[in-house]
Chain A
Amino acid sequence: MATPEIPRCCPSCGKENPPDSTVCHFCGASTVERISLKIVSLGIVLLLAIAAAHFYLAMSYAPDYAAIPSLTPDRNFERVRVKGRVADVQIVREAYDHHQVRIELEGEGGGGRYSDNRISVRLEGEPANDFLSNPGFLNRGDLIDVAASLYAGDNYRHLSLSSMQFIRILEKGSGAPIDPSAASGSRYAPAAPAPKATVAELLADPEKFRDQVVIARPLEVVEVPEALPFFRVSDEGKPEPQLVVIGYKGELPAVGDQISVRGKFIYYEKKGYWEIQVRDWDKGAVIVLTDGTSE
Chain B
Amino acid sequence: MKGITHFLTGVATASCFPLAIQTAFADKSFLMLYGGFCGILPDTLDFKFARYFWKFDHIVNLTEDNLDAKLAAETVAKAIDEAAETGKPVRVKLNVMRVSTNYYRTVTVQIDGERKEVTTYVGPLKTMSHVMARGETLPSDAARYRSIAEKGPIPVLRDIAQKSASLPGTIPEPEIAHVAKFKADVNNTYYADTEIGIFSGPDWQFAKQEDGRVRIDFIPWHRHWSHSITLGLLLGPLGLLLFGLSGLLSGLGFLNPFAIAALFIGPLAFWSHVFVDQLGHLGSNLYPPWTHWRSLGFKWSTSSSAFGNQMVNYISATIILWNINAYGPKAVFTMPWAARIAGDFGDPLYYLVSLLNYATVVVAIPLLAAYLIALVHRKLYFAKRMINFGEEDEGVEDFGGGGGDL
Contact = CB atoms under 8 A, between A and B. Distances in A.
B166 interface: yes
Interface in B129-168: 130, 165-168
A24 B165 CA distance: 11
Contacts of B130: 28
B289 interface: no
Chain B binding surface SS class: loop
A294 B168 CA distance: 90
Interface residues of B, number: 7
A25 B130 CA distance: 14
B348 interface: no
B169 interface: yes
Contacts, number: 13
Contacts of B168: 21, 23-26, 28
B380 to A, nearest CB: 13
Contacts of B165: 23, 28
A28 B168 CA distance: 6
Interface centre among A21, A23, A24, A28 (most CB of B within 10 A): A28
Interface residues of A, number: 6
Interface string B108-127: 00000000000000000001
Contacts of B169: 25
A28 B167 CA distance: 6
Contacts of A23: 165, 168
B383 to A, nearest CB: 14
Interface string A20-62: 0101111010000000000000000000000000000000000
Nearest to B166: A28
A21 B169 CA distance: 11
B265 to A, nearest CB: 34
A86 B376 CA distance: 65
A24 B130 CA distance: 14
A24 B166 CA distance: 10
A23 B137 CA distance: 15
A127 B65 CA distance: 79
A114 B131 CA distance: 80
A276 B169 CA distance: 78
A26 B169 CA distance: 8
Contacts of A21: 168
A147 B227 CA distance: 60
A180 B294 CA distance: 85
User: Which of B130, B167, B168 counts the most A-chain CB atoms under 10 A from its CB?
Assistant: B168
Contacts of B166: 28
A275 to B, nearest CB: 29
B381 to A, nearest CB: 10
A28 B130 CA distance: 10
B248 to A, nearest CB: 25
A24 B169 CA distance: 10
A212 to B, nearest CB: 33
B137 to A, nearest CB: 12
A13 to B, nearest CB: 12
Interface of B: 127, 130, 165-169
13 contacts: A21-B168, A23-B165, A23-B168, A24-B168, A25-B168, A25-B169, A26-B168, A28-B127, A28-B130, A28-B165, A28-B166, A28-B167, A28-B168
Please name the 6 residue pairs, one residue from A and one from B, whose CB atoms are nearest each other, closest first.
A25-B168, A25-B169, A23-B168, A28-B167, A28-B168, A24-B168
Given A23-B165, A23-B168, A25-B168, 10 more contacts: A21-B168, A24-B168, A25-B169, A26-B168, A28-B127, A28-B130, A28-B165, A28-B166, A28-B167, A28-B168
